[in-house]
Amino acid sequence: HYIRFLYLVSMLSCGSGFLGNAQQKNPKPNIVYIMSDDHAYQAISAYGHGLNQTPHIDRLAQEGLKFTRATVTNSLCAPSRAVLLTGKHSFVNGKIDNMAKFDWNQDNFAKMLQKHGYQTALIGKIHMDGLPQGFDHSAVLIDQGEYYNPNFVINGHKQQLTGYVTDLTTDMVIDWIDKRDSEKPFCVLYHQKAPHREWLPALRHIQSYTATTYPEPATLFDDFQGRGTAAKSAEMNILNHMNWAGDSKVPPPLMDELGLKEYMKWDKAAYTNNLGRMTEEERKSWDAVYNPIMETFKAQYPNMTSRELLQWRYQRYMQDYMGTVAAVDEGVGKLLDYLKANGLEENTIVIYTSDQGFYLGEHGWFDKRFMYEESLRTPLLIRYPKEIPAGKTSNALVQNLDFAPTLLDFAGVEIPADIQGESFRTLAAGKDSLWRDAVYYTYYEYPSIHMVKRHYGIRTDRYKLIHFYYDVDEWELYDLEKDPNELSNVYEDPDYAAIKKHMTKKLQDVRKKYKDSGQNDARYIPVE
Ligand code: SGN
Ligand code: CA
């Protein structure tokens, strides 16, 4: 009777809803950290680009806070995940690129939460070898993972699951929350593979998404005048550097018939392997939609100009990319509905983000890596009704470096002194708080796929300074207010001499603050 009484009182006093008994006894918030892979903010309708609809992800913006200038410190999958876990820059946590080994023995925020009574789980893509540490439960994809009937490594044991990867990931997250010990707070990292290359949407989405025409970005036909060698030599062009079979879904026999060459030597194999994972039934449904598209392409191809070919490939890319986003969005809806139906809505922090931004045809590109806006910035929405007012927007320069300290802060765990990020808890609550005026960025994976040169730099409210190094020594300065598409490098422009000086000094300060140096860059030049 006593417990019942308390329960009634809590229901009355909280007004807005139901709180389970467990949460009364333990006020620590639960955490659902949702991170997709390569999800451009341009592909979330709450960000207002008008390309697609993501009603469920948008709920987090309506009921929570939307950051418009959240950035990553190194725009690549595995390094981004290492930064998330450690709260430290790549040159400190050691995971500088997708190839470097991640040392799971170092501390991470999940380990710290565990020590403070949290139940923790990691479900989906992690893209790092070794058994994840800091998690009571892990179900992770191998490397990039697969879209159809994917292999998962569940607590160290490999297993092929039946179904579509995005749906499976969502269901495993909900299932884990459902079966948890409700006496303890929980933290789950819900990491979708989608919308990562090679963009295979779920069958329920292919019909409508392949029938959609997307507006072309203003810079689709960018010729890179006004920029340096790095932008000119990157291999991310939709026309020239995408795979015909794996990406554009032109079947290998049709490639041969039309004389289309493999750009990457695994192109045809990627197509065969990806589609080869489908059951016969699944493959039939897929072919019913894609075969007619390829028939039309076959007829049109001989008369297409290279401009038209780029336009066709851009549409194909966007259709499949957006198709994979659709299932991600539905998953978020399912998860939010689950939290609500189970009285977990009030006491659970829900974050939606991506491991980095992505090019959706801007500059003619796909992929990421660059410190230019589309790949530097990442979507970030956070909902926690207890502290964060609904429907607000923040343009503060937060980074993925800040997740670990922020989540520790929310959980009431002391933030270790060697963590380099800062908690944005107070900021998110809309309270006055001092915040950084510049973010620091580093990128190392070169020479490698997409050939984006090594660089580092800072971005402030208005300006961006980048240094490309290793096999070039080039500086770029952008005025983001006058030139939001970053088309004109003003580093040598005398009108910007004072800004250049100021930004150069700021960059030196920031490198000092994070303990980066020319020596760090030298460390990553492989010895021949
Ligand atoms: C694969 C992709 C690249 C992508 C990297 C890294 N090529 O290599 O386009 O940049 O992954 O992506 S593919 O032909 O294999 O699809 S990341 O998100 O994991 O960093
Ligand atoms: Ca990624």
Nearest ligand 1 atom to the CA of 77 is 20
Crossing angle of helices 306-341 and 165-179, rounded to 10°: 20
C-alpha radius of gyration, the chain, whole number: 23
**CA-to-CA separations, 170 to 41, 330, 352, in angstroms, rounded:** 21, 9, 13
Q: For the whole model, what pTM was predicted? A: 0.95
Nearest CA to ligand 1 atom 4: 367
Name the phi and psi angles at 288, rounded to 5: -60, -30
pLDDT of 4 strictly over 80: no
**Which 3 state secondary structure label does DSSP give 386?**
coil
Residue 200 to residue 205: CA distance in whole angstroms = 10
pLDDT 10s digits, 173-223:
999 999 999 999 999 999 999 999 999 999 999 999 999 999 999 999 999
Kindly indicate the confidence band of residue 9, based on its pLDDT and cuts at 50, 70 and 90: very low
Phi, psi at residue 146, to the nearest 5°?
-125, 155
pLDDT interval class at 526 (50, 70, 90): low
Cβ atoms 367, 450 nearer than 8 A: yes
Closest CA to 449 of 266, 280, 314: 266
pLDDT more than 90, % of the chain: 92
| % of the chain at pLDDT higher than 70 | 95
Instruction: Supply 67's token pair.
Output: 């950051």
Between helices 77-86 and 403-410, what is the axis angle to 10°?
40
Inter-residue contact 263 to 242 (CB < 8 Å): yes
Is the CB of 320 inside a 6 Å radius of any atom of ligand 1?
no
CA–CA separation, 425 and 214 (whole Å): 37
pLDDT at res. 354: 99
Question: Atom 18 in ligand 1: which residue has the minimum CA distance?
Answer: 77
How many whole angstroms from 446 Cα to the centroid of ligand 1?
A: 14
Give the model confidence (pLDDT) of 44-77 as tens digits. 999 999 999 999 999 999 999 999 999 999 999 9
d(CA 369, CA 358): 8
Extract the tokens encoding 51: 């390309």
What's the 354 CA to ligand 1 centre distance in angstroms?
Answer: 15
Whether 496 and 477 have beta carbons less than 8 Å apart is answered as yes
Amino acid letter, 446: Y
Pocket test for ligand 1, best of 98, 141, 368, 448 (most atoms within 8 A of CB): 98
Digit-coded pLDDT (tens) for 236-283: 999 999 999 999 999 999 999 999 999 999 999 999 999 999 999 999
Closest CA to 358 of 194, 495, 121: 194
How far apart are alpha carbons 66 and 351 in whole angstroms?
Answer: 10
Most ligand 1 atoms within 8 A of CB, residue of 98, 99, 197, 321 to mutate: 197
**341 vs 178: CA distance, rounded Å:** 11
pLDDT, residue 527, reads 47
- Indicate the helix (H) or strand (E) that contains 477: strand 474-479
* Cis amide bond preceding 416, omega within 30: no
- Written as six digits, the tokens of 352 are 């939606």
Give the start-end residues of each E strand in 91-202: 119-124, 137-141, 151-154, 157-160, 186-191
What CA–CA distance (Å, rounded) separates 282 from 163? Answer: 10
Counting from 1 in the atom list of ligand 1, the atom nearest the Cα of 266 is 14
Please name the residue whose Cα sits nearest to atom 7 of ligand 1. 197
Neighbours of 76 (CB within 10 A): 26
Q: Look up residue 12 and give its two tokens.
A: 């009355």
Residue with CA closest to ligand 1 atom 16: 197
The enclosing H or E element of 459 equals strand 455-460
| Cβ 38 under 6 angstroms from ligand 1 | yes
- Asked whether 146 lines ligand 1 (CB < 6 A), one says no
Flag whether pLDDT at 357 surpasses 60.
yes
* Ligand 1, atom nearest to 98 Cα: 20
77 Cβ inside 6 Å of ligand 1: yes
Q: What are phi and psi of 221, to 5 degrees?
A: -105, 30
Q: What is the residue whose two structure tokens read 């008994």?
A: 21
CB neighbours of 277 closer than 8 A, spacing ≥ 6? 146, 147, 148, 149, 150
pLDDT band at residue 520 using 50, 70 and 90 as cut-offs: confident
Cβ 198 under 6 angstroms from ligand 1: yes
Q: What is the mean pLDDT of the chain?
A: 94
Q: Is the ipTM of this complex over 0.90?
A: yes
Average pLDDT over residues 437-442: 98
Q: Which amino acid is at 110?
A: A
Residue with the smallest CA separation from ligand 1 atom 1 is 197
Q: What is the mean pLDDT of residues 112-135?
A: 97
**Number of the ligand closest to the Cα of 356:** 2
- Indicate whether residue 238 lines ligand 1 (CB < 6 A): no
Instruction: State which amino acid sits at residue 282.
Output: E
pLDDT digits (tens, 9 = 90+) for 497-514: 999 999 999 999 999 999
- Atom 9 in ligand 1: residue holding the nearest Cα: 367
Q: Which atom of ligand 1 is nearest to the CA of 355?
A: 18
Distance CA(504)–CA(508), nearest Å, equals 6
Taking only the tens place, the pLDDT of each residue in 453-498 is 999 999 999 999 999 999 999 999 999 999 999 999 999 999 999 9
Average pLDDT over residues 128-142: 97
